[in-house]
Amino acid sequence: MSDVLLSVQGLTRRFDVSKPWLNRVIEREDRQYLTATADVSFDIRKGETFALVGESGSGKSTIAKMIVGLLEPSAGEIRFDGKVMDFASGAAMRALRRRFQMIFQDPFASLNPRWRVGDIIAEPIHTFGLLKGAEVTREVGRLLDLVGLSAADAEKFPHEFSGGQRQRIAIARALSSRPEFIVCDEPTSALDVSVQAQILNLMRDLQDEFGLTYLLISHDLSVVRHMSTRIGVLYLGRLVEISDAKRLFIDPQHPYTRLLLDAVPDLALSGRRRTPVTGEIPNPIAPPPGCAFHPRCPHVMDICRKQRPDAIPTASGQAACHLLTPEGQKPRETTA
Site for other proteins in 305-324 (CB under 8 A): none
Find the binding residues for other proteins in span 144-163 (CB under 8 A). 148-150, 152, 155-157, 159-163
Total residues contacting other proteins (rule CB under 8 A)?
A: 80
Q: Which is nearer to other proteins, 25 or 263 (CB)?
A: 263
Indicate the Cα dihedral angle 214, 217, 219, 225, nearest 10°: 10
Contact criterion met (CB below 8 Å) for 230 and 317: yes
Terminal-to-terminal C-alpha distance of the chain? 32
Q: Which is nearer to other proteins, 191 or 321 (CB)?
A: 191
Judged by CB under 8 A, the residue of 12, 37, 105, 253 near other proteins is: 105
93 binding other proteins? (CB under 8 A): yes
Judged by CB under 8 A, the residue of 66, 195, 203, 311 near other proteins is: 195
102 binding other proteins? (CB under 8 A): yes
40 binding other proteins? (CB under 8 A): no
Residues 6+ apart with CB under 8 A from 302: none
Q: Which is nearer to other proteins, 8 or 169 (CB)?
A: 169
Residue span binding other proteins (CB under 8 A) among the ranges 3-11, 74-82, 217-225, 236-244:
217-225
Contact criterion met (CB below 8 Å) for 11 and 40: yes
Judged by CB under 8 A, the residue of 10, 31, 33, 70 near other proteins is: 70
Find the binding residues for other proteins in span 237-266 (CB under 8 A). 249, 259-266
The whole-angstrom separation of Cα 282 and Cα 271 is: 31
Q: CA dist 11 to 32, 224, 233, 257, Å?
A: 20, 22, 15, 21
268 binding other proteins? (CB under 8 A): yes
DSSP characters over 88-109: T-HHHHHHHHTTEEEE-S-TTT
The whole-angstrom separation of Cα 191 and Cα 183 is: 18
Tabulate helix, strand, coil % of the chain (nearest 5). Answer: 35, 20, 45
Residue span binding other proteins (CB under 8 A) among the ranges 215-223, 237-245, 312-320, 327-335:
215-223
274 binding other proteins? (CB under 8 A): yes
